[in-house]
Amino acid sequence: MGRAFEFRKARKMKRWSSMAKTFTRIGKDIAIAIKEGGASPETNSKLRAVIQNAKSANIPKDNIQRAIKNASEKNTENYKEIVLEGYGPNGVAVIVDCTTNNNNRTVAKIRSYFNKYGGNLGTNGSVDYLFDKFCVFKIKNINEIDDLELDLIDYGLEEIVVDNDLNEVIIYANFDSFGDIQNQLEKKDVEIISSEIEKIPKTVLELNEQQREEFECFIQKCEEDDDVQKVHHNA
């Protein structure tokens, strides 16, 4: 019974830690969205997208409203987005999206993770060319999916994938088309579950089991950092 209790406790703590990390990330996204476009979701499309993502991540409504209120305060921390890139363990190309209020701190920490696992943090553009950037929308499945696809082609649509098991549709579009796709979906009253920018590798590097374990330790270390929003790689 003791071992089972410890297992359940560890699993619960891991889940709570993940939820706390998600809320921290969403809170920073809200702060940046409000800084760029104000605190009203009706007039700030970026804030609407962040709120949708928060709901998709099961963040309670009260927490979302509290984060918006806090980010609207004049003395809120001045967060900004930075992108760091380089080669991780075994030559894997890695891009780390960060949100920070202290560039020097964030760069130093991410560099230490690369160094610890035998990688090398590079300069801007050192691995970015190895990835294609897409905006990705997840929406509720609809009956008129063919009509929607035809309508969105003029706005940068690349591909639509229907997941019948989850009753969802995933929309891939040109990176620069995020606002246009969002506007068209909202005009059609399509329920947006979540939206994000994905950096998809043009080719994938194969790793053996030992290399994979080492690389996953590196990725976990990066993702646990509060300044890190998302990690992209080609492994």
**What are the beta bridge partners of residue 163?**
168
Of all residues in the chain, the percent with pLDDT exceeding 70 is 90
- What's the CATH number where 15 sits? 1.10.10.200
Q: Hey, which residues does 173 pair with through a beta bridge?
A: 135, 157
What is the per-residue pLDDT across 150-166, written as a single tens digit (0 to 9) for each?
999 999 999 999 998 88
Mean pLDDT of 46-58: 90
Q: Which of 20, 43, 72 is the last residue of a domain?
A: 72
Q: Tokens 């553009």 — which residue? A: 125
Indicate if 100 and 129 belong to the same structural domain. Answer: yes
The residues, ordered by sequence, that sit 6+ positions from 108 with a Cβ below 8 Å of its Cβ are: none
Q: Are residues 36 and 88 both part of a single domain?
A: no
Range of the domain at 30: 2-72
pLDDT in tens, 162-202: 998 888 999 999 999 999 999 999 999 999 999 999 999 99
Give residue for tokens 């374990």.
213
Which position has the token pair 């760029």? 36
Q: Are 169 and 140 in contact (CB under 8 A)?
A: yes
**Do residue 66 and residue 103 come from a single domain?**
no
What are the phi and psi torsion angles at 25 (to 5°)?
Answer: -65, -45
- Same domain membership, residue 173 and residue 105: yes
Give tens-digit pLDDT for 97-147. Answer: 999 999 999 999 999 999 999 999 999 999 999 999 999 999 999 888 999
Tokens 């063919």 correspond to 146
Residues 34, 95 within the same domain:
no
Q: What DSSP element (H or E) covers 23?
A: helix 2-37
Say how far apart CA 71 and CA 58 lie, in whole Å: 20
149 and 36 inside one domain: no
Are 142 and 121 in the same domain?
Answer: yes
Same domain, 121 and 220: yes
CATH classification of the domain holding 173: 3.30.70.980
Helix (H) / strand (E) element for 186: namely helix 178-187
How many domains does the structure of the chain reveal? 2
Among 12, 37, 72, the domain boundary falls at: 72
| Together in a domain, 20 and 49 | yes
Contact 118, 151 (CB under 8 A): no
What is the reported pLDDT for 218? 97
- What pLDDT shows up at residue 6? 43
**Whether residues 155 and 96 fall in one domain:** yes
Largest CA distance in the chain: 60
Same domain, 29 and 116: no
- Tokens matching residue 23: 């809320």
Contacts of 71 (CB under 8 A, 6+ apart): 27, 30, 31, 34, 35, 39
Q: Of 56, 72, 88, which marks where a domain is finished?
A: 72
Are both 88 and 123 inside the same structural domain? yes
What does the pLDDT read at residue 14? 45
Query: Who wins on pLDDT, 12 or 213?
Result: 213
**Average pLDDT score over the chain:** 88
